[in-house]
Structure 1
Amino acid sequence: MPDPDPLLDLAPVLDHDVVVVGAGPVGLLLACLLAQDGIDVVICERRRGEDRRSRAIGIHPPGLDALEHAGVATAFRTEALALHGGDVLSRGRVLASLDFPEGRRVLVVPQQRTHALLRERLGALSATALRSGCTARGIRDEGRFVRVTVDADQGRRELTAAFVVIADGVHSGFRRELGMGWDRRPGRAVHTMLDVDDPAAGTRALLHCEPDGLVESFPLPGARRRWVLRGDRDGVAEGFRTAVAERIGTDPDIPDDARPTAFVAAQHRARTVVRGRTALLGDAAHEISPIGGQGMNLGWLDADRLASAIRIALTHGSSDLREYARRVPRSARAAQARAAFYMAMGAPARGLPLHAREALIRALGSAPLGEWSAGLVTMGGL
């Protein structure tokens, strides 16, 4: 048990126990976990409206466990499409088929619905916790507490809190200002994404590890499908459709007015995730390639761990977040290694490297290793 903070009795009356900067899915989950334990938490979110983009869609079993702890898992199960498994193909042949048992299935929920469900849960726990249109401008650790300068409708003011959590994403300005570092890790490529209507989407993911590069096909709720193509076909439906057709051998049903969006899949990790009473969370702490769908789920795992650490620290009058600081980099390293492997399996390849890759995929899907591989894909062990 950590020793009580000898300065605790000298601390002023604080505005809040915790201030969270950023109301993405990870910051929202942390706020839910804290609020349901009676901890006074507020989220400063500069955006006023909903984020309508649909980026992260997969909820892995560890992520669902964190949602369960926040009392919102049932709402997600109700709306989700459950993936029963996935097939890995190359050059028209199925190399491996992985089945997800009922208790380890991946749930698919568009990210805008994830935001909405978490906001609803937080609103039910604390009607005033989420402060939209509130921009954090500065953070100063006073030792006994932290000051956060914010701009909101009532003008510029300062908030004081026992802890501040930075959950403002990959491009976090506060991470840079606090000198917490940002190191590139292996795994980087450009991909293009497109969601389209597809009544025959089914309940299995298809991963085409083709000579010219990866094509992913994921069913979405509401009879829709997500296509992900390795390479840049930004904004051009015809070019995207042609590239997919050339790689997988069939013409996908993609309308002419569709607008695919390119993105860079990259990986970074902060050198430290805790400095005094300030902690990094989610994408501010580690960027995980979206190939493999681990980023949001890992952020939720971190949120669950951080909520526990903050709860203990507040109870015992401590500022000790060292256990969180130890565990986050460890999990991030493992997730990034898996993501780098997934990206390597989807890189363009010819000749001997292609044959070696196909043999490895067959082995990973074989009877002795298939169950282990399914656990790896669904974030087992993180």
Structure 2
Amino acid sequence: MSGHDVAIVGGGSAGLLLGCLLAQRALDVVVLERRAAPAGGSRAIGIHPPGLRALDRAGVGGRVRDESIAIREGLALAPGIDLGTVRFDRSPIRALPQHRTEAMLRERLAALAPDALRLGAEVVGASEAGGAVALAVAEGAAVEARCVVAADGVHGPMRGMLGIGSTAVPGEAHHAMADGPDATGRADAAMLHLHPEGIVESFPLPGGARRWVARLEGPGAGMDAQALRATIAARLGAAPPLADDAPVSAFVARQRLADRFACGRVALMGDAAHEVSPIGGQGMSLGWLDALALEAAIAEVLATGRTAPLAAYARARRASARRAMRRASWNMAMGAPASEARFAARIAVVRALAAPPARRLLAASFTMRGL
């Protein structure tokens, strides 16, 4: 059995960032990732200002700035109406595909601790005794650590191993998305097109690309680019330039909160602790804020032997996740299909929020202040 200061179960964006932070403290950290190869595909793109500060702490913020694109304003639109603009000049949101950010974090971790990341290491059991946690690894030697972090995602097994339940927030929403060339002429703007049949959102990407996301009435599994293009065209009056063979990703926006974020010497973080609706794009950055808080808590646990810092971490970050979920629930509700009367009321609300002084509060919400 190999012994470490900290074992992180899950090598996604949150686990990698925490691994870098702990390695910078010269702690013996191991990151156990069940996948044999890094994940690709179309996933999160939004890096909010607090998340970028976390990446700065890990030593990759400069690279992210160089490769990402800055979103400096959000435009709210409805059929034939310009509802308002919210600007993020002082604290822009950065857009960069998640696989690129994770690649930078893997490279940084390898530079700090060359053997820290173990791919193909599936954790199948966990037990705590004698001031340490033992992890059973399928087809590999067991791992022991003084602290363990569950960063294995929404569907990871660590919560179940620890006997920690989770509570679902009522409501879910179906969406489909695809990337294509940006023909909007607004390479620094996110666009939110409200429509009675459901919202259409678009976000700039590096390299002159744009991501299109449409709210659907039902599951979007099996939808191709032509069908998504037609759906968007029916609401916007013009089709986005999506190629016929552009990959389409269907997803369900829903929310779930772990009943506890810590259990003895084990802490939960990122999607393992909180599934936050991707509408608003704050889930990835929220996991990085968990990592910042957990870095300090773990350092104190290792220095004192007391687990109270993990309990304090759990209380504070669970409260932050609840605030993020309330914001995401509001975003989901504003993008839902609506009757004519309800849609008219929604337009009035958005117009009011996009005007001073409420506009400042809206910008603060979108840029994750207070989380």
CA distance in 2, matches of 1:119, 1:187: 35
1:162 corresponds, among 143, 146, 158, to 146
- Which deviates more, 231-240 or 139-148? 231-240
> Are 1:370 and 2:354 counterparts?
no
Match 2:161 to one of 174, 177, 181: 177
Q: Kindly indicate whether the alpha-carbon contact (under 8 Å) linking 1:212 and 1:247 is maintained by their aligned counterparts in 2.
A: yes
Runs of 4+ in 1 over 4 A off after TM superposition: none
1:201 and 1:224 in contact (8 A); partners too: no
Q: Secondary structure at the match of 2:194?
A: strand
**Cα deviation per residue 1:235-288 (whole Å; 9 max; x = unaligned)?**
322211111001111121122222312111110000001111111110000000
Q: Which residue of 339, 342, 350 corresponds with 1:361?
A: 350
Percent of residue pairs identical: 48
* Matched pairs, number: 366
Aligned-pair CA distance for 1:186: 3.5
Equivalent positions of 1:250-265 (< 5 A) are 250-265=238-253
Structure 2 residue corresponding to 1:345, chosen from 314, 321, 334: 334
Aligned partner (choices 116, 119, 125) of residue 106 of structure 2: 119
Partner of 2:369: 380
Tell me the distance in 2 between the aligned counterparts of 1:347 and 1:190. Answer: 10
- Unaligned 5+ runs, structure 2: none
Alignment of 1:6-25 (within 5 A): 15-25=3-13
Question: In the alignment, which residue of structure 2 is the partner of 1:269?
Answer: 257
Q: Tell me the distance in 2 between the aligned counterparts of 1:121 and 1:187.
A: 38
For residue 212 of structure 1, give the secondary structure of its aligned residue in structure 2: coil
- Per-residue CA deviations over 1:123-158 (Å, capped at 9, x if unaligned) read 11110110111111111111411101113xxx4321
The AA in structure 1 aligned to 2:210 is R
Q: Aligned runs of 1:1-382 on 2, under 5 Å?
A: 15-102=3-90, 104-151=91-138, 155-198=139-182, 200=185, 202-231=187-216, 232-233=219-220, 234-320=222-308, 321-382=310-371
Tell me the alpha carbon deviations over residues 31-65 of structure 1, each in whole angstroms, 9 at most, x when there is no partner. Answer: 00100001110001111222112311000011111
| Secondary structure of the corresponding residue to residue 125 of structure 2 | strand
For structure 1, which runs of at least 5 residues remain unmatched after alignment? 1-12
- Code of the residue aligned with 1:223 in structure 2: it is G
What's the secondary structure of 1:329's corresponding residue?
helix
> Structure 1: which amino acid aligns with 2:135?
V
The Cα of 1:351 is off from its aligned counterpart by: 2.0
Specify the SS of the correspondent of 1:210.
coil
**Partner amino acid for 1:140?**
S
For the residues of structure 2 that align with 1:256 and 1:345, how far apart are their CA atoms? 30
Return the alpha-carbon distance in structure 1 between the equivalents of residues 146 and 275 of structure 2.
27
What's the TM-score once normalised by structure 1's chain length?
0.93
Q: Do 1:26 and 1:299's aligned partners in 2 also have CA atoms closer than 8 Å? A: yes
Q: State the Cα deviation string for residues 220-249 of structure 1 (Å, max 9, x = none).
A: 001111000111444322211111001111
Indicate conservation of the 8 Å contact 1:61/1:105, yes or no. Answer: yes
Q: CA deviation at 1:315?
A: 1.4
2:187 and 2:9 map into 1 onto residues whose CA distance is 38
Amino acid at match of 1:66: A
Are the aligned partners of 1:201 and 1:220 in contact in 2 as well (CA < 8 Å)?
no
Q: What is the CA–CA distance in structure 1 between the aligned matches of 2:297 and 2:234, rounded to whole Å?
A: 51
Distance 2:178 2:52 in 1: 25
In 2, distance between residues paired with 1:352 and 1:327? 40
Matched residue type, 1:227: W
Q: Is the 8 A contact 2:2 2:141 kept in 1?
A: no
